[in-house]
Amino acid sequence: MNFALTEEQQMIQDMARKFAEREIKPVAAELDRTHEHPAEIVAKMGELGLMGITIPEEYGGAGMDYICYVLSMIEISKACASCGVIMSVCNSLYNFPVYAYGTEEQKQKYLKPVASGEALGCYGLTESSAGSDAAKMRTTAVLDGNEWVINGEKKFITNGNVARYCVLAAVTDKSAGYKGISSFVVDLENTPGFRVGTVEDKMGINASGTAELVFEDARIPKENLLGKAGEGFRQMLTTLDGGRIGIASQALGIGRAALEESIEYSKSREQFGQPIANFQAIQWKIADMATQLDAAELLTLRAAWLEENKLHYEKEAAMAKLLASDVAMWAAVEGVQVLGGYGFCKEYPMERHMRDAKITQIYEGTNEIMRLVIARSILKKR
């Protein structure tokens, strides 16, 4: 077993770290305060190949592996979790299904712009009545001649207010249950009947837009069906498995930031005539944070390795997402405690890390659902 990174993996990790430290970290607090979409930063991320890391170069991507994806996601998310999730959605939830299930024409038309960073993608799945129970979605797509007519509303869609393209899940056969769900690629800027609805005012990841997508007799070309009719639910499950690796990576970035800032503060803050880093109570917090984050990172890298090698990784992705998000939330809370009163103030970024960490326990499948996925996988094998 070899834990060493390849030269390419080390290169992208170093590149992402330097870019994040130089370009993102200095403005992260202001982005959080203003809720402003970091368009300029995202454009630069696209130029660096970060918006289509695992997509082959012929489709606009960087042609790297999933380990590179995890390593770069951690570094970007360490500086700004909002930038991290924008990157994750494009890579995992949009690029993956278009590349995996799209035709050559769809890849050229709809994958290239997002993988190259020229445009943003989003994933239209969740609805107000269909969250964890995605099979209960009500958005419909009805074939009318050479067009699909779409009606429905999607909720909590990351990038939804700024995305040009969307992979959309809709019911094409109401009598078939989850087997009647299909996926489509939608050019949101050129779809009559589509509009952006409510943009949510959230606790955290404030520079990442979370929007409602509204379709009212919206028409898209017949050829925008992704794969075959009725394959959408299966496509969705596989897409979410990969998405969970992305969110685990985002959570690790948040947790790493909390750890690094706890270390830095504890060395400079003095009480009773010495740095608080000398006190066992603080040392134990830092030791536990570092240990749990390392464990979560190993789980995440294992899941990425399995995906890269085209091995089954549903359980492993769920494990990575579960542990990484729980550890990120816990590490951020502990970080606030290390900083004491300063941890509760916006003068320091620790309170932002705590607010940002919470969503990683919720989206891409709540951690309660992750435990169900893991348990079912284990029990099915016995």
Q: Are 324 and 251 in contact (CB under 8 A)?
A: yes
Per-residue exposure over 193-223, b if at least 16 CB sit within 10 Å of its own CB, e if not: ebebeeeeebebbbbbbbbbbbbeebbbeee
Residues 6+ apart with CB under 8 A from 362: none
Phi, psi of 267 (to 5 degrees): -80, -25
Contact 184, 228 (CB under 8 A): no
Taking the C-alpha atoms of residue 207 and residue 42, their distance in angstroms, rounded to an integer, is: 11
- End-to-end Cα distance, the chain: 27
Please give the single-letter amino acid code of residue 116.
S
Strands 140-144 and 147-158: antiparallel
3-state helix, strand, coil in the chain (%, to 5): 60, 15, 25
For the record, the structure tokens of 316 come out as: 């492993």
Is 23 marked active-site?
A: no
- Per annotation, catalytic residue among 127, 297, 334, 364: 364
DSSP string over 11-54: HHHHHHHHHIIIIIGGGHHHHHHHT---HHHHHHHHHTTTTSTT
Among all residues, which ones are annotated catalytic? 364
